[in-house]
Each structure stands twice: as structure tokens, then as C-alpha cells.
Chain A
Amino acid sequence: DGGITQSPKYLFRKEGQNVTLSCEQNLNHDAMYWYRQDPGQGLRLIYYSQIVNDFQKGDIAEGYSVSREKKESFPLTVTSAQKNPTAFYLCASSPFWGNTEAFFGQGTRLTVV
């Protein structure tokens, strides 16, 4: 099944711990994105990457970090500095930076306990 794969589907974390969410795509897309989805607030952009070894902060990057060492992979780390990490996280990709049609993964629900 081609597309974007996010893992795990559900993740629990203790307060004060960092956690990394995986996002892999086999669509050969250049651009990748991380969004956070909260009830009643739609999706908000955390980080994006146009090309390997390059990434930029989105609207709500504080408390998060990313890497883009391979074209296929764009992992997101939720650090202990993120004050309200419990949320649904969506990864997306698009063919190139100028193409705005985004393809989404199925998401990871992170719960801090």
C-alpha cells in the first residue's frame, strides 16, 4: 500500500519525556509537513521540509523538533518543553514545494499521562 505511513497509531508518554513520531512516505514527494489537530481548532502547521537536510518552522514549532535526513522520512520529536502535547498529529507530503495538494497519513494520537 503506497502512501504515507505514520507510526505508532497511539502513543502514551509520561510528563517530562521526549517522544518521536515516525512519518515515512514512498510517493517520492519532495515536501513534507507536520500538523497538529486539536478539537475545534482545525490543523495547525508545526514544521515543514521542502528538501532533504532542510526544514523550517511552522506556526506552532515551539517544543517540537524535526529532521530530514532522507527524502522518505520526516520524524517529529515532541520534547518535554511542549506545554500541551496531548493531541492528534498528522504528517503530510506533496510532490514538490509549489504543489499544494497534500497527501496525509492516518495520524498519531499522543497522550501525556
Chain B
Amino acid sequence: AQRVTQPEKLLSVFKGAPVELKCNYSYSGSPELFWYVQYSRQRLQLLLRHISRESIKGFTADLNKGETSFHLKKPFAQEEDSAMYYCALSVPIQGAQKLVFGQGTRLTINP
């Protein structure tokens, strides 16, 4: 069965410190992974996807198939990074695709 696990419900770091949000997945096929973010009072939105291999707002995420991980990293945290972060896996369902989400990690950046 497909599963996404984010082991940390809450993560708190100081401004300027490095940030790593962990994500592990379970999937037998070739994974397509995403990070979504929800800032306070805003809608859930895409942060980045692994196939584009880009850096958004200073965040990067590398797919490690050996460790089945897709951790989100940023070298220097900023206060505006405080938000809820979800890791998601795309899986096929009856000719379509669906997203399987992790439980989410609430990141708080302390001044």
C-alpha cells in the first residue's frame, strides 16, 4: 500500500538556523513526490515537486530512492517560513492520479 510518513508533527527552529522536514514514503512504483505548504489563513499550495529539481523560496528536496525519503531542506530559516508543510505522493487510480498526503509538519521559526 502507498503511504507517506512525516514523523514530526511539530518542528521549531530559530531564525537563521537550518531546517529539515522529514518525509518517507512507501510505494512499489516510480515515485512522483511533492511538498505542499499552507501559510496561516491561506490555501494549501504547491511548494515544489521532485521532477522539476528546483529551489523555491530557498527550499530544496532530494529524492533518495534507497532510503525512500524526500526530505525538505533550507539552509537558513526565515520567519515567513512558519507554516504547515505536507509531503505528498502521486499514485495512479483507475486511469487517473491521486495524491497521498502525509500527516503534515507544523514548522515554527522563532525570532
Contacts and interface: CB of A to CB of B under 8 A. Distances in A.
Chain B interface size band reads 20 to 34
A31 B95 CA distance: 12
A100 B34 contact: yes
B86 A102 contact: no
A102 B46 contact: yes
A40 interface: yes
A107 interface: yes
| Chain B interface, >50% SS class | strand
A31 B43 CA distance: 18
B98 A40 contact: no
Interface in A91-109: 94, 97-107
Chain A interface size band reads 20 to 34
A84 to B, nearest CB: 18
Interface in A3-37: 4, 31, 33, 35
Interface of A: 4, 31, 33, 35, 40-45, 48, 50, 56, 58, 90, 94, 97-107
Interface of B: 4, 6, 9, 32, 34, 42-46, 49, 86, 90, 93-99, 101-104
